[in-house]
Amino acid sequence: MTEDWVHANFTDENERTDAQKAELALSDRLVDELIAADTLVIGTPIYNFSVPASLKAWIDMIARARKTFQYTANGPEGLLTGKKAYVLIASGGTEVGSDIDFASGYLRHILGFVGITDVTIVAADQQMMKGETALNEALADVAVS
């Protein structure tokens, strides 16, 4: 994320310079990929109680004002409606859904923010404590989903 990126995004699409278009090219590609998808699958570990920086960087690329969300008189409105998301979360010790899990609630919120409200979270968590049980529980959850 750069100042030029932000400036390009706030410049009207028809008035963007070639440099500004290039600045937004990766974000455009990722947003188009998301628009074309019916189902989104995110597989992520918990890093330091939240999402890894690489996943956060992807979020920063797809949360695009006027493309994936917009602000209305009634507040923010997600534009990627009609999609289903599965979020598979692995952790060593942090219990998914606990007070110290800042990943699952955040992911549910940001997906809802861009309009994806049908979200199923599957936890393969606390692998250090549960060992193979964590995987078996996750597989059972996937079978139900």
Ligand X SMILES: Cc1cc2nc3c(=O)[nH]c(=O)nc-3n(C[C@H](O)[C@H](O)[C@H](O)COP(=O)(O)O)c2cc1C
Interface residues with ligand X (CB under 6 A)? 45-49, 90-94, 127
Question: Residue 54: is it exposed, middle or buried by C-beta count within 10 angstroms (0-12/13-18/19+)?
Answer: exposed
Rounded CA-CA distance 57/47 in Å is: 14
Eight-state DSSP code of residue 81: -
Nearest to ligand X of 92, 131 (CB atom): 92
Tokens linked to 49: 């109680």
Q: Beta strand 69-72 with 118-124: parallel, antiparallel or unpaired? A: unpaired
Shortest distance, CB of residue 89 to ligand X, whole angstroms? Answer: 8
> Whole-angstrom Cα distance, residue 80 to residue 93?
33
Looking at the Cβ atoms of 47 and 58, the one nearer to ligand X is 47
Q: Find the helix or strand (DSSP H, E) in which 77 lies.
A: strand 75-78
Output 24 or 89, the one with its CB closest to ligand X.
89
Q: Which residue's Cβ has the minimum distance to ligand X?
A: 45
**CB within 8 A of 131, min separation 6: which ones?**
none
Taking the least distance from each CB to ligand X, the nearer of 34 and 46 is 46
Nearer to ligand X, 76 or 93 (CB): 93
CB of 34 to ligand X, least distance (A): 23
Nearest distance from C-beta of residue 46 to ligand X, angstroms: 4
Minimum separation from the CB atom of position 100 to ligand X (A)? 8
Nearest distance, CB of residue 53 and ligand X, angstroms: 10
